[in-house]
Structure 1
Amino acid sequence: MSPRRRTIRSVCLSAFAAAAGAILTAGAALSAGAVDEAVYRATAGRWLIAPEGGGKGCVITLSTETTIGGRRLDGTAGCKGAVPAMAEAASWDFDNEKSGIVFRDALRKRLLEVVEQETATYRQEPAGPGKALVMFPARGSMDRVPSPGDLFGEWQMRRPGGPVLCTVSLLERTAPGDQGSYTLSLARECDAGLVRLKLSTWRIEGMDLMFYSFEGDSLAFTPRAPGAYAKSEKESGKPLDLIKTK
């Protein structure tokens, strides 16, 4: 083969390889940007979006039904006073670039973006002064994220429809060496099973109220309404209600 033909052949092979590489790269990027329908189904449902650390929010419903700008979004009419940025939102979709969710209006204008956290919840950093917004799976009739100030006081533990098993005081005193945790005390007349847990501190984790002992035991409660919690479904044993009394 002449040197000229070898040169032409080499150039052609190089061009083909470059083109093939470009096609493969584009295909991989397109594939990476696609979101499986199962992920939409897993994310769909009722969510509370509210100011972090307290303040009234609103409950929205993420649907899997396609619409202009992504998937249909319901319930935003109730956000007008609480979360104005969401009042005109009409759709939602995943934002793969930022690993979060973007909300758009009926004209596809971006209104709000929230970024996924390690706890499978979402958070939005404010562009200016003000609290960040957080997004949690909705719980009962809760329209805000619990704050410590909402929970200080006296609570009663009881079986649903049953007698009081224990009175618990959630104190304002911070737990030593445990930022974000506070101390609690149990009344003397408490159920023996609860006493054995030796619960000593409490804290808010997401929407849940957590009790801890220094020995590592814990008890999780999920809100149903302001001042009314129920033992988390993740906990074993019989149902247990936690009701604020003072």
Structure 2
Amino acid sequence: MRGTRVFVALLLATSGAEAQVGDEMIRETAGRWQIIPADGSPACSIVLTATPDGAERWRAQPEPACAARVPASRGVTGWRLADGMVLLDARGRARMTFVEDETAVPTSPDLINPRHYLMPAVAGYTHRLQPAEWAGTWKIMQTGKRSCTITLRQAPPGNGGAAGTVTAACPRGSVPARLERWSLEDLKLILWGKNDLVLAFEPAPHGRWIAEPGAWSLAR
């Protein structure tokens, strides 16, 4: 996700107590984002504006549904960058703090036990898919080639249930035919195969998923 990578760069640029947030950083970050509950509850959108609302603070406009869908966001009116993304109430108090490393989607309250994710809004993306929702048949396609189908099977509950096996109805020797298992990592689906094959799919508009750097797509 390009917007998330921009966010990573901004956080690196603003890390440290003495860091200053420049206008360009704010413009790059401003836009429509989504707060996504980790448990699969409906996501809500929030607009981070470039309109100043105090010292090192800018206005934020959560959609009305946010208060019910993400109770932690109630009262949010502003945002700032400071070793992460901080959503603020009208008195400048932190309501939600999103942190990340260089490889992860911003999470709240921490990276180890995330309850919410933050990412640039993706059209048609409504919630974080849970393991059972991934199970079933998908169409996988490499750019410029015909699609074929793969089937994801969920591991038994005793094995965690957040991973499973992959079978493919694809040409022998093709990349999809080499896939063997799948797992979830923050908002991504990771497909694993023989000879260190890894495809990491991220949300894309209208129910699609794209593997970096966009050479592969996945859809129902």
Q: Does residue 78 of the first structure (1) align with residue 65 of the second (2)?
A: yes
How far does residue 38 in structure 1 lie from its aligned partner after superposition?
3.1
From 94, 109, 114, the counterpart of 2:98: 114
How far does residue 91 in structure 1 lie from its aligned partner after superposition?
0.7
How far does residue 225 in structure 1 lie from its aligned partner after superposition?
6.0
Whose Rg is larger?
1
**Match of residue 140 from structure 1:** 123
Aligned-partner Cα distance in 1 for 2:189–2:65: 26
- Tell me, yes or no, if the aligned pair for 1:76 and 1:88 is still in contact at 8 Å: no
Q: Does residue 89 of the first structure (1) align with residue 76 of the second (2)?
A: yes
Give TM-score scaled by structure 1 length. Answer: 0.66
Aligned-partner Cα distance in 2 for 1:54–1:151: 12
Q: Does residue 230 of the first structure (1) align with residue 209 of the second (2)?
A: yes
Higher helix share: 1
- Which secondary structure does the structure 2 equivalent of 1:41 belong to? helix
- Deviation readout 1:181-216 (Å, 9 max, x if unpaired): 4211112xx245635761111122332222221311
From 136, 140, 146, the counterpart of 1:153: 136
- Which secondary structure does the structure 1 equivalent of 2:65 belong to? helix
Give TM-score scaled by structure 2 length. Answer: 0.73
Give ranges in structure 2 of 5+ residues lacking alignment: 1-15
Aligned-partner Cα distance in 2 for 1:184–1:46: 35
- Tell me, yes or no, if the aligned pair for 1:154 and 1:167 is still in contact at 8 Å: yes
CA RMSD of aligned residues (A): 3.5
Overall identity of the aligned pairs, in %: 26
From 83, 102, 107, the counterpart of 2:86: 102
Alignment of structure 1 residues 1-246 onto 2, 5 Å: 32-68=18-54, 70-95=57-82, 99-119=83-103, 121-125=105-109, 132-158=115-141, 165-173=147-155, 181-187=163-169, 190-192=170-172, 194-195=174-175, 198-224=178-204, 228-232=207-211, 234-236=213-215, 240-244=216-220
- Which secondary structure does the structure 2 equivalent of 1:223 belong to? strand
- Tell me, yes or no, if the aligned pair for 1:136 and 1:207 is still in contact at 8 Å: no
Give ranges in structure 1 of 5+ residues lacking alignment: 1-29
> Residues 209 and 32 from structure 1, CA distance in 2 versus in 1: closer, same or farther, beyond 3 angstroms?
same
Aligned-partner Cα distance in 2 for 1:45–1:125: 22
- Which secondary structure does the structure 2 equivalent of 1:34 belong to? coil
How far does residue 73 in structure 1 lie from its aligned partner after superposition?
1.2
- Tell me, yes or no, if the aligned pair for 1:60 and 1:76 is still in contact at 8 Å: yes
- Tell me, yes or no, if the aligned pair for 1:140 and 1:223 is still in contact at 8 Å: no
Number of aligned residue pairs: give it: 200
> Residues 81 and 105 from structure 1, CA distance in 2 versus in 1: closer, same or farther, beyond 3 angstroms?
same
